[in-house]
Amino acid sequence: MCVGMGCLDNRLFVERFPPNRRRERVPRRQDALGGPAGVGAVAVAKLGGKASLWGRRGDDSTGDQIEAMLRANGVDTQGFRAFGACTSPRCEVFIRPDGERFLFPYWGEGLPADAGWLPPDAMDSADAVLIDGRWSEGGLRLAEQALERGIPVVLDFDIDTPQVWELARLATHAIADEDMAESHGGVEGLMTRVEKLGTWCAVTLGEKGVAYGNERMPAFPVKVVDSTGAGDVFHGAFALALAQGRQELDALRFASAAAAQRCALGEVPRLDQVAGLLNESM
């Protein structure tokens, strides 16, 4: 179960960023699915698992497009609820030739925070929960249900608010990004603070790999085409691995390979593509 945001990306493949002039021609653009929980759910589905997305969208054409993309990738959208008089999330993404991306997210407007509509049996068919913090009220409610059932709760920890820190306390596993770590005294500082909550913690570092405990796992060396959503794929793959009963280090390696293939292929990878990269590295 993935909880949080699904959004519509407008991806612009630019020749330089920031631009040199006020007007710069874009050689290529693409509409694509975005949002940490949404992309994480697609990663789970393409890597051989079953995924559902629970969250909010507007009852608008953007929301319809987001939901269609989710369904086309095998994600169950029964919990992805449309609300009238609201606008769905969108994100402008600028992607340089070296694959580095710059995000300008719009989280939508009018989407209700209340999570009272979530059913009490929502967790009954789940083996793990991935929460992205964009809808903290829903995340908190479902994290509590998951813990009552002994189900792993994975937090995509990239937002610094009191509500998301409460999610970090409830989560069994929190995986932060480098920006989050830098705002809390670096990798070691953030990990120490999270681990004091009783939560297992790791920090993704892009091409520098992933930090966990006192160790570093190197990244898989690939030629980057587009790094958009690599972290989202990482979190989805990690949550899937836990749901399958794997231990943390095995889950980290699987997730690292999945994220690397996202960067190399420019799309969420299939299980056979991730397995191929893992086999090459042995």
When divided into structural domains, the chain yields a total of 1
Residue 89 lies in a domain: yes
H/E run at residue 102:
strand 101-106
Cross-sheet strand order for the sheet of 28-34: 28-34, 7-13, 90-95, 101-106
Say if residue 27 is exposed, middle or buried (CB neighbours under 10 Å; 0-12, 13-18, 19+): exposed
For residue 155, the enclosing domain spans 2-14+30-108+122-280
Is residue 29 within 8 Å of residue 11, measured between CB atoms?
yes
pLDDT in tens, 156-195: 999 999 999 999 999 999 999 999 999 999 999 999 999 9
User: Looking at residues 129-142, what average pLDDT do you find?
Assistant: 96
Backbone angles phi, psi at 256, to 5 degrees: -65, -40
pLDDT exceeds 80 at position 54: yes
- Model pLDDT for residues 248-257, shown as the tens digit of each residue: 999 999 999 9
Q: Under a CB-based contact definition with an 8 Å cutoff, are residues 28 and 13 in contact? A: yes
Q: Is residue 114 part of a domain?
A: no
Instruction: Determine, yes or no, domain membership for 20.
Output: no
Sheet containing 153-157: give its strands across: 80-83, 53-58, 2-3, 129-131, 153-157, 173-176, 200-204, 210-212, 215-217
Query: Which CATH number goes with the domain that contains 78?
Result: 3.40.1190.20
Please check whether residue 19 lies inside any domain of the structure. no
25 falls within a domain = no
Lowest mean pLDDT among 20-24, 198-202, 266-270: 20-24
Residue 77: predicted pLDDT: 98
Confidence grade of residue 262 (pLDDT, cut at 50, 70, 90): very high
**Average pLDDT of 106-126?**
93
Residue 96, domain member (yes or no): yes
Mean pLDDT of the chain: 96
In angstroms, the Cα distances linking 170 to 36, 74, 150, 276, 282 are: 19, 29, 12, 35, 36
- The number of residues in the chain equals 282
- Band the pLDDT of 281: cuts 50, 70, 90: confident
Domain presence at residue 116: no
Confidence at residue 282, expressed as pLDDT on a 0 to 100 scale: 72
pLDDT at 94 exceeding the cut of 90: yes
